[in-house]
């Protein structure tokens, strides 16, 4: 708990909760923004796996173990993973030499990471539709001749070939000759998991959006510096405690917001740039939580009756003092065909007070690139139309044109009459 790896917990006064019948009550700290494994890039799934194994090994000398090993036991406080399911810890039988959570750990951590390295499968595709992860049989079918390679042999091929041999004795506790031997065997299995995690550490990925802002965008160094200065001034004026950065790319402006003292959730639909953002935020201990979320198709509610895990929008509404949408709304308007008024309504729903929005006009070369010959359909997307639509929901605090580009950046404040 002191190092932030386990959620801070303390006994609660039962007299404060007379309606709850329980032997004892434990109160936990609130993690500011919950996220789920299908919203993480591979790097975050890997970090959650490392934390799980670290705590499992650390509990052994105390004769405790972790009875389940699901990534749902982990949340992120900024970029740092924190284990939140304290009831996963239970006393071990001294002679028990099995870790019955191993198969779950393999399905939800090791096999999705292996599928990511070998087949480009992202955590959302591995875990959103299949809460308990991937089966060895699935990867065995995908692997072809690679199923006999060292990387697949122990995690995929042997478990698949040995499946179907269960009997009544399969799930009986296996006893060692002494408590010391039992701990040694379990620790050896956990150490093997740690080695597999090390081999499966995600490699930095590239995409059309990696290194975009500095190498692929239209901004000159002077124009980028102007945009940077406007964002800094807006953060100084708004002083938000929490910021949502939509279309964050590799996090340049998320990091500015974090440097101003805000807690930041940075979302982008590209796992490669979200992974890059997490690597920097983790290395520099920045209060930035990067998530793979597409605002046009936000994470749905999942689980029993869709009530186990809230949708992204449900978690986001009213959570942020500032919503940033820098060079992203033209993609939503054109590529995703979201009406401008609906988009601004959503921003007004999410933010408590401010919105920082960059408007890209139809004359902009990037706008023309994504329109692809359909310019007539978007002739109505003008700066005047944008300002009029925004005026129904926000008042302009500041605005500026970025250099000679057909781009304007606005700091809006939510109209009080709408509250």
User: Do 41 and 66 share a domain, yes or no?
Assistant: yes
On the question of pLDDT at 308 being above 70, the answer is yes
Q: Does 205 fall in a domain?
A: no
User: Do 189 and 221 share a domain, yes or no?
Assistant: no
The structural domain count of the chain equals 2
pTM across the whole model? 0.93
CATH at residue 238: 3.40.50.150
User: Do 27 and 138 share a domain, yes or no?
Assistant: yes
β-pair partners for 289? 265
Domain boundary among 199, 227, 256: 199
Tell me what pLDDT residue 171 has.
55
Q: Does 20 fall in a domain?
A: yes
User: Do 175 and 265 share a domain, yes or no?
Assistant: no
Q: Does 2 fall in a domain?
A: no
β-pair partners for 80? 77
Q: Report the 3 state secondary structure along 163-175.
A: CCCCCCCCCCCCE
User: Do 173 and 299 share a domain, yes or no?
Assistant: no
- Cβ contacts of residue 412 below 8 Å, gap of 6+? 354, 355, 356, 357, 390, 393, 394, 395, 396, 397
Q: Does 343 fall in a domain?
A: yes
Confidence band for 216, pLDDT divided at 50, 70 and 90 = confident
Residues 98-139: tens digit of each pLDDT: 999 999 999 999 999 999 999 999 999 999 988 899 999 999
User: Do 152 and 56 share a domain, yes or no?
Assistant: yes
User: Do 195 and 264 share a domain, yes or no?
Assistant: no
- Cβ contacts of residue 95 below 8 Å, gap of 6+? 175, 176, 177, 178, 179, 182
Confidence band for 417, pLDDT divided at 50, 70 and 90 = low
Q: Does 3 fall in a domain?
A: no
User: Do 186 and 249 share a domain, yes or no?
Assistant: no
On the question of pLDDT at 167 being above 80, the answer is no
Q: Cα torsion at 121, 125, 130, 131 (round to 10°)?
A: 100
Q: Does 64 fall in a domain?
A: yes
* Residue range 353-369: mean pLDDT, rounded: 89
263-268 and 288-292 beta bridge pairing? parallel
Q: Does 363 fall in a domain?
A: yes
Confidence band for 165, pLDDT divided at 50, 70 and 90 = low
User: Do 162 and 216 share a domain, yes or no?
Assistant: no
User: Do 77 and 154 share a domain, yes or no?
Assistant: yes
Q: Does 389 fall in a domain?
A: yes
Domain boundary among 178, 199, 220: 199
Domain range for residue 233?
212-418
On the question of pLDDT at 75 being above 60, the answer is yes
User: Do 148 and 220 share a domain, yes or no?
Assistant: no
Domain boundary among 199, 223, 239: 199
Tell me what pLDDT residue 334 has.
86
Query: 43 with 291: CB under 8 angstroms?
Result: no
Tell me what pLDDT residue 418 has.
45
* Residue range 367-374: mean pLDDT, rounded: 78
Rounded CA gap, 242 and 261, in Å?
9
User: Do 254 and 106 share a domain, yes or no?
Assistant: no
Tell me what pLDDT residue 5 has.
97
């Amino acid at each position: 708990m002191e190092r932030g790896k386990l959620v801070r917990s303390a006994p609660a006064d039962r007299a404060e909760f007379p309606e709850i019948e329980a032997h004892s009550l434990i109160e936990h700290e609130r993690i500011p923004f919950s996220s789920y494994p299908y919203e993480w890039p591979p790097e975050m799934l890997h970090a959650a796996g490392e934390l799980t194994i670290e705590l499992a090994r650390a509990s052994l000398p105390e004769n405790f173990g972790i009875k389940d090993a699901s990534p749902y036991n982990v949340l992120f406080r900024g970029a740092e993973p924190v284990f939140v399911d304290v009831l996963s810890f239970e006393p071990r039988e001294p002679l028990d030499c099995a870790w019955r959570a191993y198969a779950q750990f393999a399905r939800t951590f090791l096999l999705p990471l292996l599928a990511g390295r070998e087949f480009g499968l992202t955590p959302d595709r591995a875990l959103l539709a299949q809460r308990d992860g991937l089966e060895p049989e699935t990867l065995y079918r995908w692997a072809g001749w690679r199923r006999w390679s060292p990387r697949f042999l122990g995690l995929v091929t042997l478990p698949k070939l040995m499946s179907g041999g269960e009997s009544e004795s399969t799930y009986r506790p296996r006893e060692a000759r002494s408590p010391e031997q039992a701990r040694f065997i379990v620790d050896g299995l956990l150490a093997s998991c740690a080695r597999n995690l090390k081999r499966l550490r995600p490699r930095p990925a590239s995409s059309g959006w990696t290194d975009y802002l500095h190498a692929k965008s239209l901004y000159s160094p002077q124009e980028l510096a102007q945009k940077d200065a406007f964002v800094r001034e807006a953060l100084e004026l708004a002083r938000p405690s929490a910021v949502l950065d939509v279309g964050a790319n590799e996090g340049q402006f998320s990091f500015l917001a974090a440097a101003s003292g805000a807690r930041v959730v940075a979302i982008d639909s590209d796992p490669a740039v979200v992974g890059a953002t997490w690597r920097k935020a983790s290395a520099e201990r920045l209060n930035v939580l990067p998530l793979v979320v597409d605002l046009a198709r936000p994470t749905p509610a999942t689980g029993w009756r869709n009530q186990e895990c809230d949708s992204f929008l449900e978690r986001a509404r009213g959570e942020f003092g500032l919503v940033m949408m820098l060079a992203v709304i033209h993609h939503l308007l054109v590529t995703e065909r979201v009406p401008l008024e609906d988009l601004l309504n959503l921003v007004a729903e999410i933010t408590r007070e401010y919105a920082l929005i960059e408007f890209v006009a139809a004359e902009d070369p990037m706008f023309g690139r994504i329109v692809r010959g359909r310019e007539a359909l978007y002739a109505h997307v003008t700066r005047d139309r944008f300002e009029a639509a925004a005026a129904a929901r926000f008042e302009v605090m500041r605005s500026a044109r970025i250099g000679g580009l057909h781009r304007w950046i606005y700091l809006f404040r939510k109209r009080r009459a709408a509250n």
